[in-house]
Amino acid sequence: GQTIGIIGGGQLGRMMALSAREAGFKIAVLDPTMDSPCGQVADIQIVAPYDDEAALEELAEISDVITFEFENIDYEGLKRLTEIAYVPQGAEIIRITQNRVTEKEAIVNAGCPVAPYIVCESYEELVEKIDQIGFPSIVKTARFGYDGKGQQKLLSKEDLPLAKNLFDHSQCIVEGFIPFEKEISVIIQRNGNGETYCLPVGENVHINHILHETIVPARISTETKQLAEEAARKIAEHLQLIGTLAVEMFVLNDGQIIINELAPRPHNSGHYSIEACNISQFAQHIRAVAGWPLREPKLHSPVVMVNVLGQHVAPLSNSITKYPHWSIHLYGKKEAKVNRKMGHVTILTDSIEETLIEIEASGIWSE
Ligand code: ATP
Ligand code: MG
Ligand code: MG
């Protein structure tokens, strides 16, 4: 049988591995930590840093095809890997999306709208140029931010010093604050033959900058849905996507969209597809990188996905018997730290509104 190598052993790698396993592949994973969520379900674990030359060579040796589950892997290492192994997604998409500056440029070059923004190399430059963006605005480190880490909202000039330490490790972008009506995401997947499909658009609710719920179908107009899918297609085309790209967007009051950011991999907001669609984002990703024809995604049922963070694990396990219709996913992480993504719950429903009330009333997510 064929072996799929996965760089990164988190929950996304785990769910990729479970899908690949079903399709008959063997799994090798490269992750710096022993017993990672993906390592637990893989056939072969290579425990080493992502840029470890010998480890990458070992992965190349045993894998027929290599994919990745997150974007903060070493670009140079990945590029070398493309020369000695089959990495259908290439390294370029990682270079572009691991830095907000090149990512925004790519979105603009694809012909899609972004929030007004400037690039600042230093705190002094921020102070000097902030009037070009004004207030409210958000400063974001160009690299390594996630779940709202590496960001500072600025309401006025008085807030500027709060952004000072963001420049310690990285240049930053400063963007205008968008008074959005809601947030949505489109997960788009493409294989080497150019076959391209979007998963149904998800509506995302964040709490403390961390994804809390994804509601599908998103409660948006047909026009907005079309705009969202068109934008995702333009960006995928521009990047010559192979594999999976998640496109996060803001929806404005008038139904127009603005692209927030990209992720070149399966995305938390697509987990609903495991139960709610004829093909999950993970199974489709494996088909795409394996060079198989893609399936046209179909939504079987409206659905709500809720994230289970560290603080939700105990209340969830205490209530599990009350909710037999919930699909529970836990990622096998040992330490239930506050705000750490430990799992998710998927609820197929005839009534989104009633399910949102049920989630709220369960009390599990009140912390
Ligand atoms: P992720 O975990 O999705 O990778 P991240 O840390 O990379 O998050 P963003 O997605 O850029 O950060 O921002 C996190 C959240 O902050 C957004 O989902 C949105 O709710 C809010 N936000 C970010 N940028 C803006 C903006 N320009 N205007 C208004 N809200 C914003
Ligand atoms: Mg991000
Ligand atoms: Mg985001």
CA nearest to 50, candidates 35, 71, 27: 71
Give SS3 for 243. strand
Nearest ligand 1 atom to the CA of 140 is 11
Considering the domain architecture, whether residues 199 and 347 belong to the same structural domain is answered as yes
Considering the domain architecture, whether residues 188 and 322 belong to the same structural domain is answered as yes
Mean pLDDT of 79-87: 97
Considering the domain architecture, whether residues 250 and 275 belong to the same structural domain is answered as yes
pLDDT tens digits for 2-27? 999 999 999 999 999 999 999 999 99
**Number of folded domains that form the chain:** 3
Specify if 128 maps to a domain. yes
Nearest ligand 1 atom to the CA of 150 is 6
Mean pLDDT of 101-106: 98
Considering the domain architecture, whether residues 204 and 221 belong to the same structural domain is answered as yes
Read off the pLDDT band of 178 (50, 70, 90): very high
175 CB within 6 A, ligand 1: yes
Considering the domain architecture, whether residues 48 and 24 belong to the same structural domain is answered as yes
Mean pLDDT of 316-334: 98
Per the annotation, does 61 bind a ligand?
Answer: no
CATH number of the domain to which 149 belongs: 3.30.1490.20
Mean pLDDT of 61-85: 96
Read off the pLDDT band of 104 (50, 70, 90): very high
Domain with 69 in it: 3-87
Amino acid letter for position 264: P
Over pLDDT 90: what percentage of the chain? 99
Read off the pLDDT band of 1 (50, 70, 90): confident
pTM > 0.90: yes
pLDDT tens digits for 222-266? 999 999 999 999 999 999 999 999 999 999 999 999 999 999 999
**Boundary of a domain, candidates 176, 197, 221:** 176
Specify if 99 maps to a domain. no
Specify if 73 maps to a domain. yes
159 vs 141: CA distance, rounded Å: 16
Considering the domain architecture, whether residues 266 and 324 belong to the same structural domain is answered as yes
CA nearest to 60, candidates 44, 72, 71: 44
Considering the domain architecture, whether residues 197 and 346 belong to the same structural domain is answered as yes
| β-pair partners for 47 | 31
Specify if 92 maps to a domain. no
Neighbours of 159 (CB within 10 A): 16
Specify if 105 maps to a domain. no
The pLDDT, as a whole number, for residue 354 is 98
177 CB within 6 A, ligand 1: yes
- Which helix (H) or strand (E) segment holds residue 203: the answer is strand 202-207
The alpha-helical segments, DSSP class H, found in 300-351 are 313-319
CA angle at 183 for the pair 181 and 184, rounded to the nearest 5°: 130
Considering the domain architecture, whether residues 164 and 186 belong to the same structural domain is answered as no
pLDDT tens digits for 339-366? 999 999 999 999 999 999 999 999 999 9
**Boundary of a domain, candidates 87, 103, 130:** 87
Examine the pLDDT at 170 and tell me if it is beyond 90. no
Specify if 235 maps to a domain. yes
Examine the pLDDT at 286 and tell me if it is beyond 90. yes
The pLDDT, as a whole number, for residue 367 is 82
Ligand 1 mutation pick, 183, 209, 268, max ligand atoms within 8 A of CB: 209
116 CB within 6 A, ligand 1: no
The pLDDT, as a whole number, for residue 101 is 98
247 CB within 6 A, ligand 1: no
Over pLDDT 70: what percentage of the chain? 100
183 CB within 6 A, ligand 1: yes
The residue whose CA has the least distance to atom 20 of ligand 1 is: 209
**Boundary of a domain, candidates 87, 104, 139:** 87
Mean pLDDT of 84-101: 98
Nearest ligand 1 atom to the CA of 178 is 28
Specify if 107 maps to a domain. no
360: left (phi over 0), alpha (psi -120 to 50) or beta: alpha
CATH number of the domain to which 242 belongs: 3.30.470.20
pLDDT tens digits for 36-64? 999 999 999 999 999 999 999 999 999 99
Specify if 40 maps to a domain. yes
Considering the domain architecture, whether residues 195 and 171 belong to the same structural domain is answered as no
| Average pLDDT taken over every residue of the chain | 97
Mean pLDDT of 199-207: 98
147 CB within 6 A, ligand 1: yes
Nearest ligand 1 atom to the CA of 137 is 27
Examine the pLDDT at 169 and tell me if it is beyond 90. no
Considering the domain architecture, whether residues 198 and 282 belong to the same structural domain is answered as yes
60 vs 62: CA distance, rounded Å: 6
